[in-house]
């Protein structure tokens, strides 16, 4: 991965001279924003699967509710969650804060499901909360059907909507703290179980100024990424949906955006 990112940095100069084609091959849909101003976009309103980028809304609702010191008992359903996992067992008890960290840093589906069930009473009721919050935000292209991003019929969002959601998360210091951690060590409420997880975002610790925000992958969605970086007081947000080379392209777009004239 380090070699890929090094090559991407070398290729950024070439990408910088390709602005006139608006980068049609970087992703099925994309959006690049610098300091609140859209620089480039492609199919930014196309409704697409978003994989674990759905966890951005799950995290936002958890943070807005607060009470992260509450203890959550992991249900059998949460323990059976597939895909990326923390390794939770039914009956495990963790603070909501630890489940949130596992959701953001490792994108762990079992932790995400346990957190969603705790917040909503059930996964289905929590999805209703997600959709209600999306409506409040004016996310007109967004419909959630799973709190953790598994491929589900009718679940979709757009690069434009995800950039709007990212803006909300950028105002949450705890999310930004978690999203930029290279790794985290988590513990059960009784201290008997310990989990060490690494960040799924390959930019963290490898790309200067990287702050997060979230990665995602499923067979239906492809490689997805919402990347935030800061240099010299300027922030750039890149949203990529179904990107064949998300790390390469994210670095290239970030570099090009930081080089662009100030708005």
Active site residues: 52, 55, 107
Distance CA 212, CA 200 (A): 10
- Axis-axis angle for helices 55-65, 123-136 (nearest 10): 90
Task: Choose among 185, 168, 150, 188: nearest CA to 62.
Answer: 168
DSSP labels for 159-221? HHHHHHHHHHHTT-HHHHHHHT-SEEEEE-TTS--EEEEE-S-TTTTTSTTEEEEEEEEETTT
Task: Choose among 224, 217, 197, 1: nearest CA to 100.
Answer: 197
Quote the Cα angle for 201-203-206, to 5°. 130
Distance CA 137, CA 88 (A): 33
Query: Are 30 and 44 within 8 A, CB to CB?
Result: yes
Query: Are 94 and 121 within 8 A, CB to CB?
Result: no
Looking at the chain, which runs of residues are DSSP E strands?
A: 29-34, 37-42, 71-73, 93-95, 183-187, 194-198, 210-218, 222-231, 234-241
């Amino acid at each position: 991965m380090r070699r890929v990112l090094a090559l991407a940095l070398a290729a950024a100069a070439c990408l910088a001279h390709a602005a006139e084609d608006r980068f049609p091959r970087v992703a099925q849909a994309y959006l690049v924003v610098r300091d609140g101003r859209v620089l480039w976009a492609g199919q930014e309103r196309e409704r697409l699967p978003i994989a674990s980028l759905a966890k951005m809304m799950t995290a936002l609702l958890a943070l807005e509710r607060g009470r992260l010191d509450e203890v959550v008992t992991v249900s059998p359903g949460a323990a059976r969650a597939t895909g990326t996992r923390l390794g939770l067992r039914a009956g495990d008890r963790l603070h909501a804060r630890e489940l949130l960290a596992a959701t953001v840093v490792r994108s762990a589906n079992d932790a995400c499901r346990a957190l969603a069930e705790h917040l909503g009473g059930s996964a289905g009721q929590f999805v209703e909360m997600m959709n209600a919050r999306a409506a409040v935000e004016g996310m007109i292209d967004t419909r959630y059907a799973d709190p953790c991003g598994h491929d589900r019929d009718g679940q979709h969002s757009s690069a434009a909507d995800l950039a709007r959601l990212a803006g909300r998360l950028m105002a949450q210091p705890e999310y930004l703290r978690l999203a930029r951690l290279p790794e985290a060590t988590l513990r059960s409420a009784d201290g008997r179980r310990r989990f060490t997880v690494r960040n799924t975002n390959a930019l963290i610790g490898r790309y200067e100024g990287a702050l997060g925000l979230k990665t995602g992958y499923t067979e239906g969605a492809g490689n997805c990424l919402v990347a935030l970086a800061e240099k010299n007081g300027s922030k750039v947000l890149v949203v990529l949906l179904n990107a064949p080379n998300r790390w390469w392209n994210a670095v290239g777009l970030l570099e090009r955006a930081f080089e662009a004239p100030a708005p």
